[in-house]
Structure 1
């Protein structure tokens, strides 16, 4: 696990640079897209590189991490619409190239199994973008989630619903109670995972992710078992890291050719 501590705009550039390098080397790469506020800087930087530098996503595919259950197809907070607004509709993905779990499926368990199969059939995710919740969840894998879980339906904790209420006019009652999410086992199959976290509110979760024991109580800690994880954090999110100075020194000494 590589931990990089830098300003938010630099973190976005680093993540976008890794994605650009991947797509230039493999135009048909498979990306994993996350929602929430953490990846927005990455998406803005990718759009800039698309518009100004010609970075093309025309042959790439992408899979979303999660989706609310039951939100109408035209609801602005339906994650498929959020991803369309923030990144998919701003670059040149081909029609149908970006897929997400179907929160309106008549048979949710079957739809979840089909989604996991579709990721595998695409050859797996080459680079997965992740955020992290204040309670350590990734995607919608809440505390207590199986570390080997696959895409499935989950009940959201009150903490997650409270955190997400800001997207629903501050009204927690408008936040769905259920979601579909890639499981931790599904996420762990990605070749490269890039997790980004900013702000003091994420400091405890980042500390557990990087330095705590692996535990279902902090689901993101399963990433300690992944062979290629990059954790991008600003000073505030890194404020509880005991090894922060070490991470800063190793990044300062990082060979220029190495990349993420």
Structure 2
């Protein structure tokens, strides 16, 4: 696990954008795993700027998002399809037919199970994910894999924790229906990606970051599963790194890496 500690959230976003751009430029038909939430937005903006400056084209890129709320339509302002269109897809040259999210508008359980299986098959058909972008919840979740999620889990229906529902409440109007279920890639699905890039910023993420990096491998902190991956990079700002016991060591290691390069 490579831990990179940067000065600011802006630096974290730019590092992520550069990694996305490098992956897309190196691959003939790159496949990206994407995430929603406040942390990736700035990374998407930086990637959009690079596209507008002719530094990258997404015309041959295929994307798979981590998750989608169950029970709201794609055009709903709080759906993750809407989020991705607004914050990324509509600003670059990617065909929308190359962008995939779990199909979760149905409230029929059998149909949702079928959709989850089809999502797994679509990822396999695309050749797997080259680079998976991740955030981390305050309780250590990745995607919507909440604490106690199986480390061998695949795309499936997942109940959201009370803390996740509370954290996302700010995005919904008073009295508006707020989903409590989601279709999410499983932890094993995520770990099959060839490269993982997790972003975390702000002091609220410090405890989760510490548990992920320095804690035991446990389903109580789903993000700790990244310890098992051969190419996982954790990019955090100084606030998110505040609780790390070995912070100085990670800074030293990164300096040695840069000197070698």
TM-score by length of 1: 0.95
Quote the residue 2:232 is aligned against. Answer: 229
Question: Structure 1: any 5+ residue segments left out of the alignment?
Answer: none
- Partner Cα distance (2:28, 2:49) in 1: 18
Quote the residue 1:71 is aligned against. Answer: 72
Residues 89 and 96, structure 2, Cα contact 8 Å, conserved in 1:
no
CA offset digits 1:114-142 (Å, max 9, x no partner): 10111011010000000000000000000
Superposition deviation, residue 54 in structure 1? 3.8
| Change in 2 beyond 3 A, CA 1:64/1:58 | same
Counterpart of 1:59 in 2: which secondary structure?
A: coil
Q: Which residue among 151, 160, 174 is the counterpart of 2:164?
A: 160
Deviating 4+ runs (over 4 angstroms):
none
Counterpart of 1:113 in 2: which secondary structure?
A: helix
- Partner Cα distance (1:141, 1:149) in 2: 9
Quote the residue 1:240 is aligned against. Answer: 243
| Change in 2 beyond 3 A, CA 1:153/1:254 | same
- Partner Cα distance (1:257, 1:18) in 2: 19
Q: Where does 1:7-86 land on structure 2 (aligned, <5 Å)?
A: 7-86=8-87
Q: Which residue among 139, 145, 163 is the counterpart of 1:141?
A: 145
Question: Structure 2: any 5+ residue segments left out of the alignment?
Answer: none
- Partner Cα distance (2:104, 2:150) in 1: 21
| Change in 2 beyond 3 A, CA 1:172/1:238 | farther
Residues 165 and 174, structure 1, Cα contact 8 Å, conserved in 2:
no
Quote the residue 1:126 is aligned against. Answer: 130
Query: Is residue 2:9 matched to residue 1:5?
Result: no
Quote the residue 1:183 is aligned against. Answer: 186
- Partner Cα distance (2:42, 2:134) in 1: 13
| Change in 2 beyond 3 A, CA 1:92/1:257 | farther
- Partner Cα distance (2:128, 2:175) in 1: 35
Across the aligned residues of Structure 1 and Structure 2, the Cα RMSD in angstroms comes to: 1.4
